[in-house]
A = this chain, B = another copy of it.
Amino acid sequence: MHRKAAAKATFDIGEMQKFLDGKYAPAKEKIRDILAAPMFQHVEGLSKEQYREQVLIWCKELARNKMGSYAFPKEVGGKGDMGSNISAFETLAHFDLSLLVKFGVQMGLWGGSVYNLGTEKHHKDLLPGVMSLDTPGCFAMTETGHGSNVQGLETVARYDRETDSFVINSTTPGARKDYIGGAAAHAKKATVFAQLEVNGKNEGVHALVVPIRDEEGNAMPGVTITDCGEKKGLNGVDNGRLFFQNVKIPRDNLLDRFGGVNENGQYVTSIEDPNKRFFTMIGTLITGRVSIGAGANSTAKNGLATAIRYAEQRVQFGDPEQKLIDYQAHQGRLLPKLAKTYALDFAIKDLIDEYVNVNDETRRDVGELAGGLKAMASRHAIDTLQECREACGGQGYLEVNRFARWQEDVDIFSTFEGDNTILNQLVAKGGLSKLSKKAKEKGALGMIISMAGDSIENAWEKSIVYSRRTSPEHLKGKEFHKDAFEYRAEQTLMQAGKKLRKLVKKGVPKAEAANLCQKDLIEAGIAQIENQVFQSFSKAVDKADPQLKPVLDQMCDLYALSTIEEHKGWFLEQDYFSGSKSEAISRQVTKLCADLRPNAVGLVDAFGISEKCLAAPIAYGNIPA
């Protein structure tokens, strides 16, 4: 047995980086240039307060470089380029997630809420200060008692006709605004979400701009601000709590794009149905989810780049001792996760495209996809970093090698901007309502015919021959993958829908029925997204330069087959394939990992993460002294 030499990639790494950078490469390059400045340097051992100040200084530097202006239209001095905005955000994530989140709160949440929920007067008045960071702000939606259930929040903004103003109150201890990034130290203003009460009637949740600190930084009268204190991670972000007692703000501070109060003190809205109005408002706020998904995937890239580069250096056992990357189990830990990272990268690119071109027609679909991809990317980042940490053994446990920081920071990505469990259910519910719309359009009979057609097609596809084919050509064929992902997406949705309908028909109250199908809905939600991600990867392979195609094709096969393998229990339950085919799939996954091994380092180098961002000594063959 001899030790294998570091293999040369079979593709041009620079070309791969170009392909991954994609159409928004200039924005990514710009962030890389800015981060090259000496001030952007990891500093260890800062107290929470020092770290917050450091992050604020970094934010100001980004703002000075106009990185905040991508997200806003030209009329107010912005660049009107959301694709570049998110791509820059994605690149920034390689460096420091506290900086990412703090900057994202300022531009995306605080600025984004003013832009999306406000009208021209708000834009003119506030957006320049948002972009320049002269007006640091925050986004006060979540309450101590109400995280995911935004419609249930308990802060009240009552319109007072006499003074022509709103009076904001935190009506219960649970109505306190909580975890609000920027609130603990720096924010001067807040977008506060509250139940709007006009002439004694609750018009539902609306957003209002509330000054929370004066120029000297003191809390405004009636506003109590406390600090969330130390968190598991993101300690460079000053999360805080806001409690309002009779805080008075002018009528104009209501962000009134979808509903407001006119000069006569009457509530006016362009969307009469309160439920529809709420979801329209919320639907404009999906930038965060798109961005968070992208940022999470960048963090997974950091972990994989470090662990794979280390695995090419580190030897253990054997005579001579073998490199970790040459062990089957080690390949199995890291390479399927690398393939999924690539898959998510392409899926996020497609999402950005859809997001950039979003309109009222597509908004709901794009929102669901953004939520589902955020859930998948954050789950993937958390799992990947844990695997990478363990794959680097004791070295992975040292702070200097960065895993701890990445893990602690990215951990909350599964919770904020919508809890993953909820988001996956939303995807499934969206899928179901599309199904039922289709059923209504076609009428019951049409639907049955269409479903029968589907089944016949499936029956053909699932013929015994098909379900038992185990040749490598078949297993690595895109047709098989496409069919498997689609089949799973359709079937899980259909099964959840049928179960739900059956329960409701039996008289089970709707909420209880939904609860009894919760696991099915989550599984169906994930299956929809996995299918989307496969389609994006597959499309990307088709578009790739011929010299990149072979390796991307292998990576796409690995994503597809390792995902199918992960769900093999489900596929076997459905008789979608035979036991021997299932075993052949696992063998193929192992073989693909071995085949990809010589390209592993090249594939992470193509992420284009600078040494300063990655920073982990073990990623560069250095053992901490």
Contact = CB atoms under 8 A, between A and B. Distances in A.
Interface of A: 1, 44-45, 142, 144-149, 152, 173-174, 178-179, 226, 228-233, 315-319, 321-322, 326-329, 332, 382, 386, 389-390, 393-394, 396-400, 403-404, 407-408, 411-412, 414-416, 419-421, 509, 511-512, 515-519, 522, 565, 568-569, 572-575, 579-580, 582-583, 590, 623-625
A394 B569 contact: no
Contact of A400 (B229, B332, B568): B229
Given A411-B389, A416-B394, A512-B1, A327 B579 contact: no
Nearest to A412: B397
A399 to B, nearest CB: 4
Nearest to A625: B226
A149 B411 CA distance: 33
B404 A408 contact: yes
Contact of A329 (B45, B322, B400, B522): B522
A396 B174 CA distance: 17
A534 to B, nearest CB: 19
A590 B523 CA distance: 14
A515 B328 contact: yes
A579 B590 contact: no
26 contacts: A1-B511, A142-B394, A174-B623, A232-B398, A232-B403, A319-B511, A322-B511, A326-B515, A327-B515, A327-B518, A328-B515, A328-B518, A329-B519, A332-B519, A382-B386, A390-B415, A390-B420, A394-B415, A396-B415, A397-B415, A408-B408, A519-B590, A569-B572, A572-B572, A572-B579, A573-B580
B419 A397 contact: no
Contacts of A174: 623
Contacts of A319: 511
A410 to B, nearest CB: 11
Contact of A321 (B144, B149, B403, B415): B149
A553 B412 CA distance: 36
A591 to B, nearest CB: 11
Contact of A516 (B178, B328, B400): B328
A319 B512 CA distance: 11
A148 to B, nearest CB: 6
Contact of A152 (B1, B321, B515): B321
A441 to B, nearest CB: 30
A516 B517 CA distance: 41
A393 to B, nearest CB: 5
Given A148-B316, A319-B511, A572-B579, 6 more contacts: A147-B316, A148-B317, A179-B394, A232-B398, A328-B519, A329-B421
Nearest to A151: B317
A574 B420 CA distance: 34
A9 to B, nearest CB: 23
Nearest to A573: B579
Given A178-B394, A228-B398, A408-B408, A582 B590 contact: no
Nearest to A48: B45
Contacts of A45: 230
List 6 tightest A-B contacts by C-beta distance, closest first.
Answer: A232-B404, A572-B572, A569-B569, A568-B569, A230-B399, A573-B579
Contacts of A419: 393
Given A152-B317, A327-B515, A232 B397 contact: yes
A415 B226 CA distance: 39
Contacts of A580: 573
B569 A574 contact: no
Contacts of A411: 389, 397
A511 B397 CA distance: 29
Contacts of A317: 148-149, 152
Contact of A414 (B173, B231, B390): B390
A376 to B, nearest CB: 14
Contacts of A316: 146-149
A262 to B, nearest CB: 32
A583 B579 contact: no
A144 B623 contact: yes
A515 B152 CA distance: 56
Contacts of A390: 414-415, 420
A226 B317 CA distance: 26
A185 B243 CA distance: 46
A403 B233 CA distance: 12
A390 B420 CA distance: 9
B229 A398 contact: yes
A229 B399 CA distance: 8
